[in-house]
Amino acid sequence: MSLNRVRRVVGGHRIGVNLQPHMVNIRRHGNFQCGGSLVTPRCVLTAAHCMQGEEHKPSDYVVRGGVSFLRDMRNARSVNRILLPSLYNHTTLDNDVALLQLQNPLQGLHIASIPLAMQAPLPGSLLRISGWGLTDERSLQLPNQLHSVRVQVLSQQKCQQLYQGYRNITDSMYCASVPGTKDACDADSGGPAVNADGQLVGIVSWGKANLCAHRDSPGVYTSVPNLYDWIADTMDRYCY
C-alpha cells in the first residue's frame, strides 16, 4: 500500500451534499471504498485504482448519491459495468480514471451531474475537493459526514520536482494542496476536484504513503482535461 495510498480530506470542514450534489460514495460488498462524481444520471467518474483487482466484478459495487452521511443508506444504485482506459497503468497510476455505468439512473433530491472541464487548471488556482476520507493521517475511523476543502494547484515543474525519485508525474496528473495544512488523504480516492466554474477538473488519485498535507507530498490528481477525449467518448457510448 505504500505507493497506492488512498486519500483523506485534511484541514477541511463538514458540509451537506446539497453543496456538492454530484458527490457519491462507492461501496464494495457494503464497505465504503471510494468517492466519485455523477457525470450523467447513468454514470459515475472515479479513479481506476478504486476498481483494481481481477476478482472485482461490477456486481460487487453499489453507488449512493444525495447523502451527506456514510450511515445514510438511501439512493443505492448497483453498478452494471466498469469501464477503464486501455492506457491505465496500475503500477504508475497513469491515466487513473474509471467510469461506472449504473443499472438504473441516479436521480432525486440533492443529486445532480457535474460538467467536465476541458481546460487544465492553472498553477495557483483553487480547487474544491470533497470526501469521506480520514480527516487526520493519525485517525483510524472515517468521518460519518462529508468534508470539503479548497487546495491550490502547483506548477507541473514543482510537482515533478517534489516527487522526483518516488513516482513519475505524467501529463495525466497534477499536484494540489495547501502545504502543511490542507490536502486530500486516505479514502478520498476517486473523489472530485472542482474548479471555480463548477466543473470537474480532477479526480483524487495518490500521494506519498501516510503523508497527508505535508509540504513535500502534495495530493496528486488525475487530470480530467487531459483524459477528456476518452471520458467523453466512453460517456457517449455508455452513459446516455
How many CA atoms within 13 Å lie on the side-chain side of 76? Answer: 15
Residue with cell 450534489: 21
Q: Number of helices and strands (H, E) in the chain?
A: 2, 13
Annotated active-site residue 189? The verdict is yes
Q: CB–CB of 120/226 below 8 Å?
A: yes
What's the sign of the alpha-carbon dihedral 232, 96, 136, 216? negative
Annotated active-site residue 96? The verdict is yes
**Catalytic position from the list 22, 94, 96, 186:** 96
- Which of 43, 52, 47 is CA-nearest to residue 35? 47
**Catalytic position from the list 189, 205, 217, 223:** 189
**Spatial distance between the Cα atoms of 152 and 63, rounded to a whole number of angstroms:** 29
How many CA atoms within 13 Å lie on the side-chain side of 104? Answer: 9
Quote the cell numbers at residue 67: 447523502
**What are the residue ranges of helices labelled H in the chain?**
156-162, 228-238
**Catalytic position from the list 22, 37, 49, 130:** 49
Question: Which of the residues are catalytic?
Answer: 49, 96, 189
